[in-house]
Structure 1
Amino acid sequence: MKCYIIVENIQTDIIEKVLMNLANLYASTEFVRGIELFRKKGSTDSFLILFTNTPDIERFNYFVNYIEYPIGLENHSPFTRGFYRTDQIDEDYDFKNGDWIMVFISKTDKEYDNVHITNSSNRNYVFDFGGSVKALDSIEEKFELIATDIENYNHIIDIYPSEDFEQKNHKTWWKFW
């Protein structure tokens, strides 16, 4: 796995709706074509999200943020952690240390337009969607790789942007002139 997201404390129908909305919102990118949703065996509210097309780190951070703060679903508070392999990051960010980074939303977040990142050295950073990355002096969360074995999960659904959404935003070739 190159990246994955763990989401807990959320019901199946809600996470499916959140991921469908996410797919429609980012339909212009290949990253949301084939979002794979798995539910942990023996659980009703613990999920694993994989991507057929690995998103870049910026989009991955957006996706973690969106799952935490989905448009139109304000009354839920999932536990969301994203994990991303550092060898998949093209940019030379300070947080690129070790094999994996952990992406999460701060418990004190009031801005809604950033994520926090912890690397294997337990250095914490704020990744702002305005394009800046800031190292923090304190440790909000220590790095903890939540290991996943696909055998411990049941596949629920593969999610793609809805055809209606794609067709509304698709211009046929003769309408470009």
Structure 2
Amino acid sequence: MSDSRVKLSCVSVALHWIVGISIIMLVAVGVYMTDYKVYALYPIHKSVGMIVFIFIFARVVWRVKQGWPEPASTYKSWEHALSKLVHWTLIIATVVMPVSGMLMSGLGGHGLSVFGLELLAATPNPDEVGKMIPINGPIAGVAHETHEISGKLMFVAFLLHVSGALKHHFMDKDGTLKRMLGQRID
């Protein structure tokens, strides 16, 4: 059940797609709910984000245990360097996004809960309805900025990642995308 040049393990493939698709959806919902002030989506966004963090953590542990997959073919040094940069950016951003989101919410006084299961109580302001008393406003603010910046960074890395996958599939015809879909390559 380990990765090789010709086939990735079912664990690697599953974690890649679960985390990738979940993050894409969370970023899209995050942009939508903030741009259009759809406050009803915030608890869902936070709950799903914390659940996905379990898979993100598992993916990071798995990647550390397995190491990076061997390239499916031989590439130019700049392609290999860009690939490493994009993969590291995606791995780091997938960790930073939920951690900064949890810090932003928890330390901002909004609490943390997963579909109603309270993990950290909110601290509502008794003098102002709908306002919270931050546990640590400055750190919550830094977490907020970090959450936004990492989302934008992840979007750029995602576009490069998908472009690279399509290049491998259609131009190089090297099997990289097939391998990421769980298929064996020659």
**Which of these two proteins has the greater Rg computed from alpha carbons?**
2
Which TM-score applies when normalising by structure 1? 0.31
Of Structure 1 and Structure 2, the greater helix share is in: 2
Of Structure 1 and Structure 2, the greater strand share is in: 1
Which TM-score applies when normalising by structure 2? 0.30
